[in-house]
Chain A
């Protein structure tokens, strides 16, 4: 198992804030809109640097999405910012018609995704957003795993022409990817090469997968760990190449078991290479109040649950 260490923890939303500032410095067409959550989305630095390129829309997310679509018509690249719940479910029809169907160059940037939003509870903990967004034709869906990757992804989507859903989170998590990484949309990152099982993880679950890989290594199990940051378009080739070797898969995501990364992988396997697969995901339920760590444990999204899923899938493979 390749050794991953960290010296600092930061929230992925801060990576977004830093990436937004840099994207704004690189391209004067980058603009930002926010629905009364500037601090939560870490947009202060962008606003300070480019006050005229920022629009405060108030608590009116539908109007924000429509306005962003309208601003693309004048050649701008709008980044909208609010919580993942209000970035997707609340404005699904606005995104569907005014952004996706109209193929507008809007970047929907969503913080506080998933259970790790924590104490605010299930009203705010969306676990369905990846599914909602990936079902829209033409929508790119990205869920980076740490501060550096989120920053790099934010800069990369400004250069990409087309609608993007960028999902990140609230809690501080280890920074274990390179600060100078080049972010390639749609390209998987092989975190660790192994031969016994493929663990495909996205977002906050990548660090959990690394911890699980270390536990598995002590048990004599050699896990290949793949980071899928771009859920759509999915790097099918990387997954198929890995499973050709390992012959079993565990997916890991902070999302409902229905409609997330796991389902996308399962579809690839069913079509090309049907082999045993287990999901690490929320089992079709809402969340609740609690600390991020408590919730990840209770809802089965930590390293221990990945280890258990690997043991189960290895058993199935052995039969």
Chain B
């Protein structure tokens, strides 16, 4: 798929995100919009995926979302990639839905392999799944995504240490490096310091990419794939704008977990061209 086609899907996914969050008047649009290009590139270009979903995912690449609150972007991309009907996006955060506020396996939503939401747990899960792939002699890769604020959780660094020590080199983890968290900029809440140096010091192969340029995301993920199998886990520090694609939501923590009203929805949709049909 070429970059223009991927960008078109991303525009539709961004529409889905703001419409879903508006419809339920809850959810997390900021990080979802910031990571849209990554998700679209991953599912429509980068990952080798089996045609039908199975929990064990033998013979295909796996993805784990650790910062589960950006579920809107994942749900939209999973639906657009064919895991479940696009119409189901309308049930997001509603009673009796498979699209829970944070992703779960409890309602058996195809595409989701573990619950996430309570932060800091997904890297360990991804490492476990990557280790299982090696035991199974399955050459496919494991991808995981994490928030930058999430790196304040201690479990992340337990996992980071394990992955380097045990040469988990079939894993590509990405940090959504937008510098924002609920209470404000990460620099003010709890500074992450020099993340590049930290991950390198923990023994990871570290890259930095622009997460809001589709070509850069595709190239970055391809580059990351080429770095697997070389004895180190791969970390992508992905610089994004929280709220990317909707001008008034960009670059502020205020849209981390807030829903647009009717006027704001209209203003947002005016900036996002529908490329596939709205759900």
Contacts and interface: CB of A to CB of B under 8 A. Distances in A.
Interface of A: 31, 52-53, 55, 57-58, 60, 62-76, 78, 93-94, 96-98, 101-104
A236 to B, nearest CB: 26
Contact of A74 (B58, B115, B159): B58
Nearest to A60: B158
B56 A63 contact: no
A87 to B, nearest CB: 15
Contacts of B123: 66
Contacts of A93: 118, 121
Contacts of B47: none
B133 interface: yes
Contact of A70 (B118, B129, B165): B129
Nearest to A91: B155
Interface string B107-131: 0000001111110111111111111
Contacts of A58: 158, 161-162, 165
Contacts of A76: 132, 135
Interface of B: 55-58, 62, 64, 104-106, 113-118, 120-133, 135-136, 138, 154-155, 158-159, 161-162, 165-166
Given A69-B125, A73-B57, A74-B136, A63 B158 contact: yes
A78 B124 CA distance: 14
Contacts of A53: 135
Contact of A62 (B106, B113, B154): B154
The listed residue with most A CB atoms (<10 A of its CB), out of B120, B125, B162, is B125
7 contacts: A58-B165, A66-B128, A70-B131, A72-B128, A102-B106, A102-B114, A102-B115
A31 B125 contact: no
Nearest to A35: B158
A77 B176 CA distance: 32
A62 B125 contact: no
A97 to B, nearest CB: 5
Contacts of A70: 64, 114, 124-132
Contacts of B104: 101-102
Nearest to B113: A73
B125 A103 contact: no
B144 to A, nearest CB: 10
Contact of A103 (B58, B105, B166): B105
A74 B129 contact: yes
Contacts of B125: 66-67, 69-70, 73, 98
A151 B118 CA distance: 35
Contacts of A68: 128
B56 A75 contact: yes
Contacts of B138: 74
Contacts of B64: 70
Contact of B121 (A55, A75, A98): A98
Contact of A66 (B55, B106, B159, B165): B159
B129 A71 contact: yes
Contacts of B117: 97
Contacts of B116: 97
Given A73-B56, A103-B105, A60 B131 contact: no
Contacts of B118: 93, 96-97
A274 to B, nearest CB: 35
Contacts of A71: 128-129, 131-132
Nearest to B168: A67
B132 A75 contact: yes
A65 B79 CA distance: 30
B128 to A, nearest CB: 2
B245 to A, nearest CB: 30
